[in-house]
Amino acid sequence: MPLMQAPPPKDPSIGQSARLPGSDWQTLLTLFPYLWRYKGRVLAALACLAAAKLANVSVPLLLKNVVDHLSLSGNAMLAVPLGMILGYGLLRLSSTVFGELRDAVFAKVAQGAMRQAALETFEHLHRLSLRFHLNRQTGGVTRDIERGTRGIGSLLSFMLFNILPTLLEIALVAGILMVLYDWRFAAVTLATIVVYAGFTIAVTEWRTKTRRAMNELDSKANVKAVDSLLNYETVKYFGNERYEADRYDESLGRWEKAAIRNEISIGILNSGQSAIIAVGVTGLVWLAADGVVNGKMTLGDLVAVNAFLIQLYAPLNFLGMAYREIKQALTDMEKMFSLLNEHAEVKDADEAVTLATSAAEVRFEAVDFGYEGNRSILQQVDFCIPAGHTVAVVGSSGAGKSTLSRLLFRFYDVGAGRISINGRDVRQLSQASLRAHIGIVPQDTVLFNDTIYYNIAYGRPDASRAEIIEAARSAHILAFIESLPEGWETPVGERGLKLSGGEKQRVAIARTLLKNPPILIFDEATSALDSRTERAIQAELAAISANRTTLVIAHRLSTIVDADEILVMEQGRVVERGNHRELLAGGGGYARMWALQQSESEREAEASGV
């Protein structure tokens, strides 16, 4: 992922709604702004829903009249039922047409909400600090987003297409039974629904705990699988395939137990729901039959009540499943929306300034920093890189050298002091414009699982092919690319594993050359290259950094002898500074490192017969 500042949501209300979803209602409220962006379609879909249900509940009433008229003797009355039969067919057709129209109108709402929620979560992840991404578990995060997005679709589908239509139909049928017949019909209907709903909610709340446990175990299993596959070579180096499989199977075993409990709970829920519906339907049929026997109801009334029961039975039976799916969708959405509540440690100031310059002076002023509060990394670091100059930083591992580049990119904010570009604190600059002015060739180069062309073009996606080829030539990788069977379209594999360390580093150099920024950072940029290629690329790097502000973090001192100033760091402090000759003359730590590396180079040359 490119750690660039993502643009804010296009609809401000969406960003404001993404608060802590501590309950199902809050999760629904979090989702509401995504839907209200399409309020016209939402209202039209609701209108179609109402029309479909009105047509549906009118069918039994028309059927009652048809039966009552047909029960009368004489052919003179035959014309009336025929007209009613045509009306019956028209109502049936209207119910279907309005239902399909509702689905078509609402499709854009559902798909748009899913897309916007996934996009906002993706953008927010890019806005989070490097600290979050160093601690995240990639497999779990991707699974949370996948399930959450799918949950939005399920929630909207069941709410609009099942829950709302069923509730509306229940209300209409109960009202009709109360007005046209005995109040007991409505009472039995409503009592059945209340008991059914109470039982469903109680059991489903119990089942939700199992569902959450399944999600957690599923994410953990996925994390272990992804982590193991990303570290495939390490697994092979130590012959730990069986160990990895056992770890994965242990997670799957716990998930299996939770899944079995989930299936058992489904059986309990379905059986209880069926029993409640059976009792309620039996009571209604008994009331209708008793009314016919006592002469209070006609045969048509019995047919109408039976038709109402048939219409209610199917959706009411489905209501439990719909509620379960909604609860599961809310559970799935909860984790995705919780990602939106992760604190963005590094934010743009309210009145952040856009950096626009071709000549940048970088200054570190008494900078203190620690990744953890009780562990200091940098202490009173103070230096300046004038525009167009090169400053190199050397020192032992853990001295804080690479931390300088992370602070300059503003992946973290300094604990004390400040970092400025052309006299302006980087905290006053927009992150996007700041990072657009800086190019880095890192020691650990990670490539996208795409082609070589894509990875080099990533430095400036709008660059022409000629510019991309020239960048590859300057990085001394063009001949290698053209020698490949697939050329520029050669896939590099996940994290660039199909390329050697040196090839990956040259791709990274080409990518940075293509970006063409005024500030360059070389973090052990040639550490993975052989001596011959390193010398050739060093000449290119020296040429491109001639008019740029350059920070070089180096291990091999031979690569920085021409730097305008060299800083020697130990335990987060600058202990020596000066150019190459001055530091050698000083006889300090730099001079000792130089002597040690020179003797090592001589021994390597003798061993190789050079």
Of 38-47, 386-395, 533-542, give the range with the top mean pLDDT: 386-395
Q: Which structure tokens are listed for 503?
A: 């090839």
Residue type, position 179, single letter: V
473 strand-pairing partners: none
The answer to whether the beta carbons of residues 79 and 50 sit under 8 Å apart is no
The residue with greater pLDDT, 468 or 287, is 468
What pLDDT does 5 receive? 34
Q: Is the pLDDT of residue 52 over 80?
A: yes
pLDDT for 336: 78
- Considering only CA atoms, which of 514, 532, 517 is closest in space to residue 474? 514
Strand partners, 378: 369
Could you tell me if residue 383 is inside a domain?
no
Q: Which residues contact 183 (CB under 8 A, 6 or more apart)?
A: none
Q: Is the pLDDT score of 443 beyond 80? A: no
Alpha-carbon gap, residue 323 to 559, rounded angstroms: 67
Residues of the chain by 3-state class (helix, strand, coil), percent to 5: 65, 10, 25
Q: Read out DSSP for 111-164?
A: HHHHHHHHHHHHHHHHHS-HHHHHH--HHHHHHHHHHHHHHHHHHHHHIIIIIH
Domain count, the chain: 1
pLDDT higher than 60, residue 13: no
Which amino acid appears at position 144 of this protein?
Answer: D
- Which tokens hold the place of 170? 């229940």
pLDDT at 456 exceeding the cut of 90: yes
Residue 15 identity (one-letter amino acid): G
pLDDT at 386: 93
575 in a structural domain: no
pLDDT score, position 490: 92
What was the pLDDT predicted at 71? Answer: 66
- Tokens read off for 221: 């299993």
Spatial distance between the Cα atoms of 517 and 534, rounded to a whole number of angstroms: 22
Check residue 237 and give its pLDDT.
74
Q: What is the mean pLDDT of residues 539-551?
A: 81
**CA distance linking residue 581 with residue 586, whole number of Å:** 9
The answer to whether residue 482 scores a pLDDT higher than 50 is: yes
Please give the pLDDT value at position 421.
94
Give residue 7's pLDDT.
34
Single-letter amino acid, residue 433: S
For residues 576-585, average pLDDT: 92
Amino acid (one-letter) located at 261: R
The pLDDT score that the predictor gives to residue 129 is 64
Q: Supply the DSSP symbol for 564.
A: S
Q: Does residue 130 belong to any structural domain of this protein?
A: yes
Q: Annotate 379-399 with b (16+ C-beta within 10 A) or e (fewer).
A: bebebebebbbbbbbbbeeeb
Confidence at 15, pLDDT banded by 50, 70, 90: very low
Q: Residue 340 and residue 335: Cα distance in Å, rounded?
A: 9
Residue 533 counted as domain residue:
no
Closest CA to 378 of 102, 100, 571, 126: 571
Give the pLDDT of residue 526. 67
Residue 250 sits in a domain whose CATH number is 1.20.1560.10
Q: What is the mean pLDDT of residues 579-595?
A: 90
**pTM of the predicted model as reported, rounded to 2 decimal places:** 0.61
Contact predicate 414/407, CB 8 Å = yes
pLDDT tens-digit series, residues 333-344 = 877 777 777 777
Report how far residue 372's alpha carbon sits from residue 534's, in angstroms, rounded to the nearest whole number. Answer: 36
Domain that holds residue 116: 12-339
CA distance 365 to 270: 69
Please indicate whether residue 23 or residue 202 has the higher confidence score (pLDDT).
202
554 by DSSP, 3-state: which? coil
Asked if 219 and 339 count as a contact pair (C-beta separation under 8 A), the reply is: no
d(CA 162, CA 315): 7
Cα–Cα distance, 529 to 501 (Å, whole number): 8
Number of neighbouring beta carbons within 10 Å of residue 341: 12
**For residue 359, what are the contacts with CB-CB under 8 A and spacing of at least 6?**
387, 388, 518, 549
Instruction: Work out the average pLDDT over 549-558.
Output: 87
- Give the residue, 545 or 380, on which the prediction is more confident: 380
Lowest mean pLDDT among 127-141, 145-159, 376-390, 497-511: 127-141
Say how many CA atoms lie within 13 Å of 447 toward its Cβ: 31
- Amino acid identity, residue 432? A
Residue type, 454: Y
For 64-119, what is each residue's pLDDT tens digit?
777 777 666 455 445 556 677 777 778 878 888 888 888 888 888 888 888 887 78
Task: Kindly state the average pLDDT of the residues 372-383.
Answer: 84
Q: 602, exposed or middle or buried, with CB in 10 Å at 0-12, 13-18, 19+?
A: exposed
Residue 196 placed within a domain: yes
Q: Is the pLDDT of residue 43 over 70?
A: yes
Query: Rounded to the nearest 5°, which phi and psi values hold at 394?
Result: -130, 165
CB-CB neighbours of 263 under 10 Å? 9
Work out the mean pLDDT of the chain and round it to a whole number.
80
In a domain, 158, yes or no: yes
pLDDT band at 47, cuts 50/70/90? Answer: confident
Tell me what the mean pLDDT of segment 340-363 comes to: 83
Flag whether pLDDT at 280 surpasses 90. no
Predicted confidence band of residue 467 (pLDDT cuts 50, 70, 90): very high
Please report whether residue 106 resides in a domain: yes
For residue range 415-440, list pLDDT tens digits in order.
899 999 999 999 999 988 998 899 88
Residues 6+ apart with CB under 8 A from 94: 51, 52, 55
> Is 80 exceeded by the pLDDT of residue 125?
no
Backbone φ and ψ for 283, nearest 5 degrees, come out as -65, -40
Tokens found for residue 557:
């001192």
Residue 155 lies in a domain: yes
Would strands 573-578 and 565-570 be described as parallel, antiparallel, or unpaired? Answer: antiparallel
Of the pLDDT bands very low, low, confident and very high (cuts 50, 70, 90), residue 451 is very high
Listed range (214-228, 280-294, 296-310, 573-587) with the worst mean pLDDT: 296-310
Pairing of strands 549-553, 519-523: parallel
Residue 17 has pLDDT above 60, yes or no: no
More confidently predicted of 444 and 138: 444
Counting residues of the chain whose pLDDT is more than 70, the rounded percentage is 85
- The 10s digit of each residue's pLDDT in 317-334 is 666 667 777 777 887 787
Cα 253 from Cα 243, distance rounded (Å): 15
